[in-house]
Amino acid sequence: MRLSVIGAGLGRTGTLSLKLALEQLGFGPCYHMAEVFKNPAAPGYWAAVADGELADWEMIFEGYRSTVDWPSSTFYARLAEAYPSAKVILTVRDPEAWFASTQATIFAREHTAGDAFEIMFRKVIGEMFDQRLHDRAWAISVFERHNEAVRRVIPAARLLTYEVAQGWAPLCAFLEVPIPDGPMPKVNSTQEFQARVAAMAAAPR
């Protein structure tokens, strides 16, 4: 099984909703940051990729047909080259809303070098933002430059710039599959994210 869809959109742009949508459309399983938490070895793989080591993509994505969200979105260009037949989806949202969402969720805690996940976070995500995760103007500028770079690097015929609020129609047209019955998945709001983190923190260890 090889990747047929690569998500280039950064976290908090509807990537979990897109993951569920891709799986519903037959492009699953879909790799997402959630998968990293399931595999204790995964943070080390991605930290090594961030350090410039030759990536064993077939090993990392064994059993997956698509990938969205961090950590893979940082390396969208390398993945697009490794999987030349894969289509690329750039999930986007209003930059101000994106920044506010990051501050209430994934960027809310300080990620200092420590365990394997923290090390991966700093290398794969933190370095993209020069570790200035709470600097509004800077973070938004990085977000916008990333999106511009994706549009510049990926040929237009291979790329869909997409807001999950647009629903099934543009996604299904791009992937050349029928529109399913029922609404587009919409999950992982800021409130849902915070509730999940609170539940994990309260769980017995």
Percent of the chain exceeding pLDDT 70 equals 90
Residue whose structure tokens are 């990085």: 142
> Could you read off the pLDDT of 1-37 as tens digits, one per residue?
799 999 999 999 999 999 999 999 999 999 999 999 9
> Could you read off the pLDDT of 34-84 as tens digits, one per residue?
999 999 999 999 999 999 999 999 999 999 999 999 999 999 999 999 999
Domains in the chain: boundaries: 5-202
HSE, side-chain direction, 13 A CA sphere, residue 59: 10
Supply the pTM of this predicted model.
Answer: 0.90
**149 Cβ neighbours under 8 A, 6+ residues apart:** none
Residue 196 has pLDDT above 70, yes or no: no
Per-residue confidence at 109, pLDDT binned at 50, 70, 90? confident
What kind of architecture, by CATH, is found in domain 5-202?
3-Layer(aba) Sandwich (3.40)
The rounded distance, in Å, linking the Cα atoms of 6 and 86 is 7
> Could you read off the pLDDT of 153-179 as tens digits, one per residue?
999 999 999 999 999 999 999 999 999
Tell me what the mean pLDDT of segment 116-125 comes to.
95
Query: What pLDDT is recorded for position 203?
Result: 35
